[in-house]
Copies of this chain bind each other. A is one copy, B any other.
Amino acid sequence: MQRRLLLVSNSTLHGSGYLDHCQQHISRFFGTNVKRVLFVPYALHDRDAYTRTARDKLKTLGYEVDSIHEASDPVDAVRKAEAIFIGGGNTFRLLKSLYDNQVVTEIRTRVLQDGVPYLGSSAGTNVATVSINTTNDMPIVCPPSFAAIGLVPFNINPHYLDPDPHSRHMGETREQRISQYHEEPDTPCVLGLREGSMLLVEGHKATLLGTTKARLFTREKPSVAT
CB of B14 within 8 A of CB of A169, answer yes
Cβ-defined contact, A138 with B177, below 8 A: yes
With contact pairs A161-B169, A195-B170 given, residues A184 and B133 touching in the complex (Cβ less than 8 Å): no
- A183 is an interface residue with CB less than 8 A from chain B: yes
Judged by DSSP, the binding face of A is loop
Interface-lining segment among A54-62, A75-83, A111-119, A139-147: A139-147
Interface status of A181 (Cβ within 8 A of chain B): yes
Shortest distance from the beta carbon of A80 to any chain B beta carbon, whole Å: 30
Partner of A169, one of B133, B137, B159, B170: B159
The answer to the question of A178 belonging to the interface, with a C-beta cut-off of 8 Å to chain B, is yes
CA distance A146 to B142 in the complex (A): 7
Cα(A168)–Cα(B90), bound, Å = 20
**Residues of chain B lying within 8 A (CB to CB) of residue A15:** 168
Contacts of A92 in B (CB 8 A): 139
A159: which B residues are within 8 A, CB to CB?
169-171
For the complex, what is the distance from the CA of A160 to the CA of B172, rounded to whole Å?
Answer: 13
Q: Which residues of B contact A136 (CB under 8 A)?
A: 138, 171
Instruction: State in angstroms the CA–CA spacing of A188 and B86 once bound together.
Output: 29
Alpha-carbon distance A1/B212, docked complex (angstroms): 58
Residues in B whose Cβ lies below 8 Å from that of A183:
45, 140
Docked-complex contact B14 and A184, CB < 8 angstroms: no
User: Is A10 engaged at the interface, CB distance under 8 Å to the other chain?
Assistant: yes
Flag whether A130 is at the interface (Cβ < 8 A): no
CB distance from A127 to the nearest CB of B (A): 13
Does A102 make an interface contact (CB < 8 A)? Answer: no
